[in-house]
């Protein structure tokens, strides 16, 4: 794999030891309440650009919806596949984003940094007034939606990054990113058997540890949904449809790990999670784009995911999904995952 190989919306390369390394050089400009980086929080000024296929973008979609930021932060949705240049707006009429007027996300990056030579990644937030990308720093992006956009949160919005839990959330997120979120990619894009085995073993050791952590508690940190749950959820949602086979993460399916499977079903059935997850786009992306792994581009018909809708029984552990808040309302018009793109009950 060359250094400009696109994987899951992010660039990466295989180093001399056979290990996949993700390029994490993002545009780190922040949109803040005080505008200290030159980009103050303003309703209607920015557009969140995503692909429902990408796990990092899926996080931003979920957080935006849980916090109720739809009226003040519009969202553009790219198609599930892309070429070596960038994500495209092929789902929109004429193949152009109706707000930004561009065909490729690359155009917004080049408007900010001519000849930008790093990954053209989603999620990205674009300044509508200039057409320039502001940031694609996805880990910071969702934190800032929680902390910097509070003035525009919906009534009843949950606290996804509460101050008294931040240290613990950060510690969990570090482990989950290293071994799970990015761990599946390290297994899938490993350049030799030894690198693959290391990544595979580390992934499942962490999943086993998470199972132990979640056996007696409903959520990863505290007794409500937090940023940590959002970050783990988007990888678990792709595990059986993609990572188990496509990335050779096949010691066990998620459905064969009882605690994690029930935890995932609990979140999937929570408003804001399952209704923001598009399985068709997920499968199309990985199996079509990653031709190094799947040369034919054939998208598997399975697996049957009706089990995602089965009872999870985790209410018995207590906890309140939204704390003192309330569930988000249904998705706004134009942002509903299409019929047939989510599992249906058997």
CA distance 186 to 180: 9
Is 46 tagged catalytic?
no
What's the number of CA atoms in the CB half-sphere (13 Å) around residue 124? 29
* Contact assessment for residue 91 and residue 79, using Cβ atoms and an 8 Å cutoff: yes
The token pair that represents 85 in the structure block: 């240049």
93 burial type by CB count under 10 A (0-12 exposed, 13-18 middle, 19+ buried): exposed
* Contact assessment for residue 133 and residue 112, using Cβ atoms and an 8 Å cutoff: yes
Angle subtended at Cα 232 by Cα 19 and Cα 41, rounded to the nearest 5 degrees:
105
The residue from 26, 46, 161, 185 that is catalytic is 185
Give bridge partners of residue 40 from the DSSP assignment: 32
The residue from 26, 39, 54, 286 that is catalytic is 54
Give bridge partners of residue 125 from the DSSP assignment: 48, 135
The token pair that represents 139 in the structure block: 């880990």
CA distance 265 to 288: 27
Nearest to residue 207, comparing CAs of 179, 227, 185? 179
CA distance 250 to 261: 15
- 122: DSSP letter: S
The token pair that represents 5 in the structure block: 């190989």
For 304, residues 6+ apart whose C-beta sits below 8 A from its C-beta are 343, 346
The token pair that represents 164 in the structure block: 């008294």
In the block, tokens 């786009």 appear at 281
Phi, psi of 3 (to 5 degrees): -65, -20
Is 54 tagged catalytic?
yes
* Contact assessment for residue 100 and residue 126, using Cβ atoms and an 8 Å cutoff: yes
CA distance 247 to 183: 10
Q: Which residues are catalytic?
A: 54, 185
């Amino acid at each position: 794999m060359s250094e400009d190989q696109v994987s899951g919306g992010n660039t990466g390369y295989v180093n001399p030891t056979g290990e996949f390394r993700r390029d994490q050089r993002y545009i780190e400009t922040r949109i803040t309440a005080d505008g200290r980086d030159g980009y103050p929080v303003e309703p209607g000024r920015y557009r969140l650009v995503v692909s429902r296929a990408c796990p990092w973008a899926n996080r931003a979609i979920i957080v935006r919806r849980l916090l109720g930021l739809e009226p003040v932060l519009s969202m553009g949705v790219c198609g599930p596949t892309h070429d070596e240049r960038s994500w495209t707006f092929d789902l929109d009429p004429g193949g152009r984003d109706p707000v930004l007027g561009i065909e490729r996300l690359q155009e917004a990056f080049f408007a900010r940094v001519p000849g930008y030579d790093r990954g053209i990644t989603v999620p990205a937030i674009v300044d509508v007034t200039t057409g320039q990308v502001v940031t694609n720093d996805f880990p910071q992006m969702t934190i800032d939606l929680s902390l910097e956009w509070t003035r525009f949160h919906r009534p009843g919005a949950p606290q996804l990054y509460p101050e008294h839990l931040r240290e613990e959330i950060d510690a969990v997120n570090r482990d989950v990113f290293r071994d799970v979120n990015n761990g599946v990619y390290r297994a899938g894009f490993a350049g030799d058997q030894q690198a693959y085995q290391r990544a595979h073993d580390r992934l499942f050791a962490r999943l086993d540890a998470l199972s132990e952590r979640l056996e007696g508690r409903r959520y990863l940190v505290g007794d409500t949904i937090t940023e940590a749950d959002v970050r783990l959820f988007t990888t678990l949602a792709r595990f059986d449809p993609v990572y188990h086979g496509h990335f050779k993460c096949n010691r066990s399916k998620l459905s064969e790990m009882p605690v994690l499977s029930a935890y995932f079903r609990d979140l999937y059935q929570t408003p804001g999670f399952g209704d923001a997850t598009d399985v068709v786009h997920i499968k199309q992306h990985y199996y079509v784009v990653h031709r190094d792994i799947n040369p034919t581009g054939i998208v598997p018909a399975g697996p049957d995911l009706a089990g995602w809708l089965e009872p999870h029984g985790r209410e018995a552990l207590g906890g309140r999904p939204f704390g003192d808040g309330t569930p988000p309302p249904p998705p706004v018009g134009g942002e509903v995952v299409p019929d047939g793109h989510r599992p249906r009950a058997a």
